[in-house]
Amino acid sequence: MAWFSKKKPVRSAPRATADAPAASRMHGLWVKCEQCEEIIYRQEVERNWNVCPHCQHHLPWPARSRLEALLDPGSFEEFDRGLEPQDPLGFTDSKKYKDRLKSTRKALGENDAFVAGVGRLEGHTVSLGCFLFEFMGGSMGSVVGEKITRVFERAHDLRCPAIVFSASGGARMQEGIFSLMQMAKTSAAIARFREVQKPYVSVLLNPTTGGVAASFAWLGDVMLAEPKALIGFAGPRVIEQTIRQKLPEGFQRSEFLLEHGMIDAIVPRRELRTKLGQVVGLFS
């Protein structure tokens, strides 16, 4: 019998023992810091609001955990959760857009890349929303744009401050012009919101880029950012390749933007609730 026709014997996988426990038993218990590369117990990181206890690097923080930690306990009421993006262009790249949406929804349990609602922050009613960067890079399609627009419409109706936490790769290419339209739509909603003379606080997270940075994210009355967040329209590598020049150290990071007057303050995550409470209280 030729060697290529021989069937290899089937070997059963080794059973877990006390000395060699199953790999899944340890899955997800540890986190590696992207900055200092320390291995940290996950619960320790979560207790510290997803900030590395060794180097203070700000790791990604799920949107719902952020809202729960920042708002008064039990005060958040979510709106528009049932809105789901469609596939108006029948877009296909390496995968059909509708299939990509389906698999992402199933994996995350979320319908799109934005969570919106109304809550209370140190006693003050606020209309707010937060991006889910893990949902297709926090890209802004027609549904995300609609949800953001409704954040400002609710703030207008309630005559309360608006807060948006942005973390996005920009407009969602799979929706083409329908995505780009959201830049004008959200900006128009902010213009209407100005009538009630309440503050819009824009909190820029890592990263905030593309069409999101080029529209509502930069239109806040008060501009806050987390440390070392990447903020800008095009990424540094794209700019360097275009202008054929080396960019300054730290270009487009929140510290660079603060130095050049583009934002009002850099606020570490553990101080964010207090800072937002002060801003909302002063301007309300």
Query: Is a pLDDT exceeding 90 seen at residue 279?
Result: yes
For the entire predicted model, the pTM comes to 0.87
Pairing of the two strands 222-225 and 200-209: parallel
How many of the other CB atoms lie within 10 Å of CB of 42?
A: 12
- Of 4-18, 34-48, 64-78, 86-100, which gets the smallest average pLDDT? 4-18
**Model confidence over 21-31: pLDDT tens digits?**
444 343 578 99
- pLDDT band of residue 7 (cuts 50, 70, 90) is low
Instruction: Provide the pLDDT for residue 8.
Output: 52
Domains and CATH numbers, the chain: 2-13+61-282 (3.90.226.10), 24-59 (no CATH)
Query: Is a pLDDT exceeding 90 seen at residue 148?
Result: yes
- Of 72-86, 100-114, 238-252, which gets the smallest average pLDDT? 238-252
Tokens 């959201």 locate to: 182
Nearest Cα to 198, choosing from 120, 281, 138? 281
